[in-house]
Amino acid sequence: MYSKDFVTIDKFLKIRTQLLWRYPTTSISTKLLDSFIFFMNGKCRTTNKNNEDIETSRSINKVKRDLARNSWKHSSGKSTIGMFALPRNAFFVRVNNLPVYMEVNRHYLKEFAKSGNRTNATKGSANIGVDCLVEEDAEIGERTTVKRSVIGKDVKIGKKCRISASVILDGVTIEDEVQLENCIIGKNVKIEYRGKLVNCNVEGSYTVGKNVNLKGETLKNLNLDELSDGGVFYEGSEDETTDESGSEGGVSEYDDEGFEEEEYEDDIFAR
C-alpha cells in the first residue's frame, strides 16, 4: 500500500513489470485507508530479549516495505500476503485515545442492553443495571448501584457506592461510599473512602485518598522528573468528612434516591 502523500511526492505510482505479468487483472483502488494494525508471529516478542526500546527515524512506509520484502524471501512461490479489507457494512473502530475508548464502551453497552436478553441484576444486595458488563469474580458491596459501566476481573467495590458510565479495569479496589461518574479507572487502582470523581482518568496502580472530590482530572503516578516539578497527591481533609456527613459522629445520611447522574446521549456513533 502506498499513501496519498507518497504518490503525490513521486508524481507517479511505481509498479513492477513482473507483477503485471503474473497478475494481469490487478485492481488499483484509492478508497482504502490504512488502519495501521499489523499481525505478526508471536516469536517476534522474544527477539528483543533485553526489552530495549525500539526506535527508528525511518518512515513507516519504509519499515512496512522492508518487512514485506523479508516475508517474500522466506515464502513459497506465488503465496499470498495477509491483507484484509473490511466490507462496507462492517463496524470497525480505531481506538487511539481515551475519549474514543470511552465512547466505544458506551456504544457496546447500549447494544448489549438492546439485545433484550438481560434484566436488572442483583449481586448480593447491590443493584446492577441491564446496560452493564460485570465480571463474575467482581465483589460488589451492599446498597451499591452500577449503571452503564464495565467492571473488570477481581474488582472489589465497597458499600453504598455509585458507579455510572465508567470503565473499571482489573484489580481495582473501591472503598465505601465512593461515587464515580464518566471515569476510566486503570488496573490495580485504589480509591479510598468517600472519594468522588467525575470525568476523570486514573492511571494504573494509583491511590486516590479519602474524601477526594475531583472533576475533569487525569491522575498519574509520580516519577522522579515529575517530583522535581512539584507533583500533587490528592487527598481530602478530615474536616471535610465531618461537614459533608451532615450528622454527628460521622454517620452518613445516605439517600438511595438522591443520586443524580448526568446523561451522555451525544456520542461519536450517533453523529
- Quick: pLDDT tens for 112-123: 877 766 556 666
Main-chain phi, psi angles of 254, to 5 degrees: -85, 135
pTM of the predicted model as reported, rounded to 2 decimal places: 0.58
What integer pLDDT is reported at residue 66 of this predicted model?
73
Of 8 and 220, more confident = 220
Tell me whether residue 88 is exposed, middle or buried, using C-beta atoms within 10 angstroms of its C-beta: 0 to 12, 13 to 18, 19 or more: exposed
State how far the Cα of 140 lies from the Cα of 152, in Å rounded to an integer: 12
Quick: pLDDT tens for 216-234.
999 998 765 555 554 445 5
N residues, the chain: 271
pLDDT tens for each residue of 224-263: 555 555 444 555 555 544 444 444 444 455 555 555 555 5
pLDDT (tens digit, 9 = 90+) per residue, 164-195? Answer: 999 999 999 999 999 999 999 999 999 999 99
CA distance 204 to 183: 13
pLDDT digits (tens, 9 = 90+) for 37-78: 666 676 766 666 666 565 555 666 677 677 666 666 655 655
pLDDT band at residue 155 using 50, 70 and 90 as cut-offs = very high
Cell readout for 206 is 494509583
CA-to-CA distance for 259 and 145, rounded, in angstroms?
10
Instruction: Compute, in degrees rounded to 10, the torsion defined by CA atoms 268, 185, 191, 248.
Output: 10
Which of 146, 141, 138 lies closest to 120 in space, CA to CA? 146
What structural domains does the chain harbor?
4-73 (no CATH), 98-247 (2.160.10.10)
pLDDT, position 246: 46
